[in-house]
Amino acid sequence: MAAPTQSRAQSGFTTFEDMAVGMTASFAKTVTDADLVLFVGVSGDTNPVHLDEDYAGGTMFKGRVAHGALTASFISTALGTKLPGPGSIYVAQTLKFKAPVHVGDTVTARVEVTALVPEKQFVIFKTQCFVRDLMVIDGEATLKVPRAAA
């Protein structure tokens, strides 16, 4: 007897055929000091507004803020792990940074399918990040999503 096969839903893999306008997913993370330090190690962005409380206190932010790209990476997490999930590939992303994120803030990245482009297997998403009810990032992403195996 052949081993049972795992369904797409069980595997966490969403195909283009599974996608529909209005589908949503989210990912939340509380930003820590360690996140900023680790992001510096990956990105090389040592801007003191992220690392030096004395310096950052004299800026318009009145304290250290998280890197915008770190905050935006939570959108990538929602798309890559939740919807559409593994196998999808980023094609484009626009971002508008609307408000700062501080250490200790919990950021919720929300993604929503707004359009499907069948001839290219593209899925268009509204992408937003919030701290509580405050939108800190607004944008749009395009992902290529694999078709179901024939």
Q: Which two tokens stand for residue 136?
A: 């800190």
Residue 11: per-residue pLDDT: 46
pLDDT of residue 150: 63
Residues of the chain with pLDDT under 50: 1-11
Nearest one of 24, 4, 2, 20 to 123, comparing CA atoms: 20
The pLDDT of residue 93 is 98
Query: What pLDDT is stored for residue 122 in this prediction?
Result: 97
Token couple for 61: 């932010």
Domain 16-144 has CATH 3.40.50.150: no
**Cα–Cα distances in Å, from 59 out to 56, 63, 96?**
5, 7, 20
Provide the 3-class DSSP secondary structure of residue 118.
helix
Segments making up each domain of the chain, as ranges? 16-144
pLDDT at 149: 78
